[in-house]
């Protein structure tokens, strides 16, 4: 998703000498990297503050998110999927924290592509990941590997399907009643899931239902992309009578039009409007023409891959 020719983007293009109109796109100002920089700059950051942890959402590229995870007790920090390292360094300086770790969900360039540069900018970083294809990897993890970011406890959840080495990171503060966080990369999105590039419907079912779905319902979901509106439009197509979908879509449109992130959601919410987490529901199975959750998962993923997103 992009803001396209929003008023703010028009102003930026005008300043750069491309004020002839939005129809010229970015041809007058150079490469796609400039385009990505502009679009991410006009998407607002968002800071989720809890007593024990902070999470700052850092927009990147056209629709990615990086996440700066801060332990409030020790001021130690980790960055999730730092595809634009300079933004990461600026955020670290702004918060006055000590960046010690990189949490890489998977090897795709728009998630791991900044690792090599970041380790040159910040010395001594531990780079976590579950796949040898992850750039600058020096801490390979597997299912249920644990480590600390300051006083925060991080548990690695192996969720192969989008890629064969995908890891989600579940973060808690011991003895705290505050909501945990899970960084899901391209496995779980708000109202959607990642494409099955290197896996099967059975693996995605295992990831979404048996692993992520068993985390506490109040867990906040921080995903890799701003895909919420299009995902909800597909969810509405699958379950046109689902009021939770209608309400979330209306909220997401308003939020997005204000330039604000639609992330995080919670796992409890996802079970009300995400068709890929609702594959055990009769309404979703009937839409798919299937009678078991794994076949339903396969059917709706195939349908989503070819779905023509309506404009409304």
Residues with a known catalytic role: 106, 108, 110-111, 162, 186, 225
CB 309 within 8 A of CB 230: yes
Which of these, 180, 187, 189, lies nearest to 165 by C-alpha position?
187
CA distance 135 to 139: 11
CA distance 47 to 68: 9
CB 213 within 8 A of CB 271: yes
| CA distance between the termini of the chain | 14
> Across-strand partners of 305?
none
**Quick one: CA torsion of 282, 288, 292, 296, rounded to 10 degrees?**
-120
């Amino acid at each position: 998703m992009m803001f396209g020719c929003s008023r703010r983007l028009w102003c930026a293009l005008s300043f750069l000498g491309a004020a002839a109109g939005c129809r010229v796109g970015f041809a007058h100002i150079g490469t796609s990297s400039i385009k990505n920089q502009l679009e991410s700059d006009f998407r607002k950051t968002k800071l989720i503050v809890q007593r024990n942890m902070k999470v700052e959402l850092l927009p990147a590229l056209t629709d990615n998110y990086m996440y700066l995870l801060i332990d409030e007790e020790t001021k130690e920090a980790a960055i999730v999927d730092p595809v634009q390292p300079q933004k990461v360094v600026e955020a670290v300086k702004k918060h006055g924290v000590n960046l010690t770790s990189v949490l890489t969900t998977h090897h795709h360039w728009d998630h791991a592509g900044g690792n090599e540069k970041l380790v040159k900018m910040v010395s001594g970083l531990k780079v976590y990941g579950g796949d040898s294809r992850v750039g600058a990897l020096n801490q390979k993890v597997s299912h249920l590997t644990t480590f600390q970011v300051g006083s925060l406890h991080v548990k690695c959840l192996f969720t192969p399907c989008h890629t064969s080495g995908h890891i989600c990171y579940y973060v808690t503060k011991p003895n705290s009643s505050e909501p945990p966080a899970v960084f899901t990369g391209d496995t779980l999105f708000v109202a959607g899931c990642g494409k099955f590039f290197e896996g099967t419907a059975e693996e995605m079912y295992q990831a979404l239902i048996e692993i992520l779905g068993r985390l506490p319902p109040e867990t906040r979901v921080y995903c890799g992309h701003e895909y919420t509106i299009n995902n909800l439009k597909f969810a509405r197509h699958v379950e046109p009578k689902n009021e939770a979908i209608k309400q979330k879509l209306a909220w997401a449109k308003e939020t997005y039009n204000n330039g604000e992130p639609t992330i995080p959601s919670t796992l409890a919410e996802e079970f009300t409007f995400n068709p890929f987490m609702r594959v055990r529901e009769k309404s979703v199975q009937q839409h798919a023409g299937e009678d078991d959750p794994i076949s339903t998962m396969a059917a709706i993923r195939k349908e989503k891959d070819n779905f023509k997103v309506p404009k409304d």
